[in-house]
Amino acid sequence: MHKLNQIFKHKSESFFIGIFIFFIIFYCSIALAKNNIILLNTVSKSSKLIVNPTINFQVSDKIKEAIDNGIRIQFIAKAETFIEKNWWFDETLESQKVNLEVYYFIMSKLYVVKNRDTNEQLSFNNFDDLWIEFEKLINFEFNQADNSDVFVKCRIVLDKGALPTAMQLPVLFDDDWDINTEWFQRKVN
């Protein structure tokens, strides 16, 4: 603030700038992702590495309302194996995606989550149950790497481009629709 005082000669100016910076920091803090991956389970099976995330997923009432009204919501679960590099970009070894879709089946009042790649699906009477078992459809299978410094990371993002067009713009700036997780990473071994 002292430096700001030097830059902006008037105290009132520096005061307002201070308030502005505070609000930016505050906004960034509250804008942090509400959902996150809390664990990445890795299982080695023959020459494969099976990765399955454990997700703490919470969705807003707005999203439930949209799903109840027939909006199909798509998620993309991304996972990568990589080797960390100092002072440079990490070296990606393998990258995989799982496309998921959540929708409401009105005829029997079920919430369905479906793996769009395998057509595997789970149906739930309760909306909250869906998010508990949501992760069951997310399984990544990587090749085992020789390197012992291999990391695996995963995140889940809402595919906003798959939403109906009319919704895409409002959703872009709506916090209730900001349900992406941050990258979660761990060392494989």
Footprint of other proteins on this chain (CB under 8 A)?
Answer: 65-66, 68-71, 104-108, 110, 112, 114, 119-126, 129, 133, 160-162, 164-170, 172
Reported as type and span, the H/E element at residue 153 is strand 150-158
Give the residue with the Cβ less far from other proteins, 150 or 179.
Answer: 179
When the beta carbons of 89 and 161 are compared against other proteins, the nearer one is: 161
Q: Would you say 41 or 164 has its CB closer to other proteins?
A: 164
Q: What is the DSSP letter of 125?
A: S
Q: CA-to-CA distance for 154 and 133, rounded, in angstroms? A: 17
Q: How far apart are the first and last CA of the chain?
A: 46
Q: How far is the CB of 90 from other proteins (least distance, A)?
A: 28
3-state secondary structure of 46: coil
Q: How far is the CB of 83 from other proteins (least distance, A)?
A: 32
Task: Report the residue number, 8 or 103, with the smaller CB distance to other proteins.
Answer: 103
Residues with Cβ < 8 Å from 118, sequence gap 6 or more? none
